[in-house]
Amino acid sequence: TQLLEQSPQFLSIQEGENLTVYCNSSSVFSSLQWYRQEPGEGPVLLVTVVTGGEVKKLKRLTFQFGDARKDSSLHITAAQPGDTGLYLCAGRPNTGNQFYFGTGTSLTVIP
């Protein structure tokens, strides 16, 4: 059972374009993280959101946590080749110890 579904699974865009990646679930999470992973490396934490409706900005990246804390989005403005990588969302439910990872979105930004 996949608790968190990400879309799209693959995305290839030109440098300078904008994009949005979605992370959806039917479950409620106490917190949700976004990570970026490059080939051969471990995931690197980008942001943690904990409050429903919360919006966080990290330079050209904007993260939003849904009001009901079931979903999240990552918007990248003016994508650059350095943004290329696998983007993963991960949620921690209100109970239990696990972090559940999404299916991942593989982004390629073409110069």
Partner 1 sequence: NAGVMQNPRHLVRRRGQEARLRCSPMKGHSHVYWYRQLPEEGLKFMVYLQKENIIDESGMPKERFSAEFPKEGPSILRIQQVVRGDSAAYFCASSPGVSSGSGVQFFGPGTRLTVL
Instruction: Provide the minimum distance between the beta carbon of 80 and partner 1 in the complex, in angstroms, as a whole number.
Output: 21
Q: Check residue 3 and report its DSSP letter.
A: S
Determine which residue in the list 50, 55, 78, 110 makes contact with partner 1, applying CB under 8 A.
50
- In the numeric block, the tokens 């051969």 are attached to 40
Nearer to partner 1, 63 or 101 (CB): 101
Contact between 90 and partner 1 per CB under 8 A: yes
Residue nearer to partner 1 on the CB measure, 38 or 77: 38
For residue 62, count CB atoms less than 10 angstroms from its CB and return exposed for 0-12, middle for 13-18, buried for 19 or more: middle
Taking the complex as a whole, how short is the minimal distance between the CB of residue 58 and partner 1, in angstroms? 15
Candidate list 14, 42, 59, 82; residue touching partner 1; CB under 8 A: 42
Please report, in angstroms and rounded to a whole number, the separation of the first and last CA atoms in the chain.
37
Counting Cα atoms < 13 Å in the Cβ hemisphere of 92 gives 12
- CB 92, min distance to partner 1, A: 6
Q: How far is CA 79 from CA 22, 33, 91, in A?
A: 16, 20, 25
Give the binding site for partner 1 (CB under 8 A): 4, 6, 30-31, 33, 35, 40-45, 48, 50, 86, 88, 90, 92, 96-104, 106
